[in-house]
Amino acid sequence: MPSIDVCFSPELLHLYELKGKAVVAVDILRATSTMVAAFAHGATDIIPVMKLEECQAFAEKGCLIAAERDGVKAEGFDLGNSPFAYMDGNVQGRTIAITTTNGTRAIHLSMEADEIIVGAFLNLQAVADHLKELQLDVLVVCAGWKGKFNLEDTLFAGALAERLQDSFTFENDATLASLHLYHAAKNDLAGFLRQSSHVRRLENLEIHKDVEFCLLHDKYNVLPVWKEDRLI
Ligand code: 3SL
């Protein structure tokens, strides 16, 4: 049986072997949730980039450009990081270049993996089904916040472990902890996360409905996968 493990922060990635594994990159609030929503609303491909200037340069290539720093849409970009900004037909048939504080970094640091997929509660079952077929060992890479642990990405790891528990082994404390946390929280994820640091950060920015939306399970049957230089 393949195994599942969880890396709680990109800063801990050096402790893990990525070769031969499938990485599920996750930034529930909000980068990977937004990417999943963008694909569900017709985006053809997404190019995650690390730096604002690098992202801006993609405008000349006809891409939509999206950027968030510290929860706020960066000036001069078409889009920020709210999933709702990608839903009015504006991304249909378009390539999006995006940079965010933590999510796009987690994807870039996972490049040595055999496969990288983007996970969110919004596409949880699509991710689980794909991993069951793939039969590779899985590492969930939590984006965290500026190198630190966060609750929401860990809860996603627990939810994925729950969906995979019959066909994967998890002989590591990170996955067990994520699963226990998810079991404690799953009946009221929003309530469980109310005191969490990024929910409070987003609440201070008066971003309320994004949190609720990003916690919805299985809304979309889409699976963003890394191919060559982008997510498709
Ligand atoms: O850190 C990130 O990549 C973002 O998802 C953070 S925010 O939700 O847009 O504030």
Overall residue count recorded for the chain in this entry: 232
pLDDT digits 0-9 by tens, 28-44? 999 999 999 999 999 99
Structural domain for 191, as ranges? 4-46+101-226
Q: How many domains does the chain have?
A: 1
Residue 131 lies in a domain: yes
- For residue 171, being part of any structural domain is answered with yes
CATH of the domain at 125: 3.90.1560.10
Average pLDDT over residues 179-208: 93
The reply to whether 67 falls in a domain is no
pLDDT tens digits, one per residue of 152-188: 999 999 999 999 999 999 989 999 999 999 999 999 9
Helix (H) or strand (E) holding 161: helix 151-164
Whether 157 is in a domain gets the answer: yes
Report whether 106 contacts 16 (CB < 8 A): no
∠ CA(154), CA(160), CA(164), 5° rounding? Answer: 140
Mean pLDDT of the chain: 96
Which pLDDT tens digit goes with each residue over 68-105?
998 899 999 999 999 999 999 999 999 999 999 999 99
The answer to whether position 83 is within a domain reads no
Which residues have any ligand 1 atom within 6 Å of their CB?
27, 29-31, 68, 71, 81, 100-103, 143
Distance 195 CA to ligand 1 centre (A): 17
* Residue among 11, 34, 50, 81 to mutate when testing ligand 1 (max atoms within 8 A of CB): 81
Q: ∠ at Cα 210 (54, 118), nearest 5°?
A: 55
pTM attached to this predicted model: 0.97
**69 lies in some domain:** no
- The residues, ordered by sequence, that sit 6+ positions from 126 with a Cβ below 8 Å of its Cβ are 218, 220, 221, 222, 223
Instruction: Decide if 90 is inside a domain.
Output: no
Residue 18 covered by a domain = yes
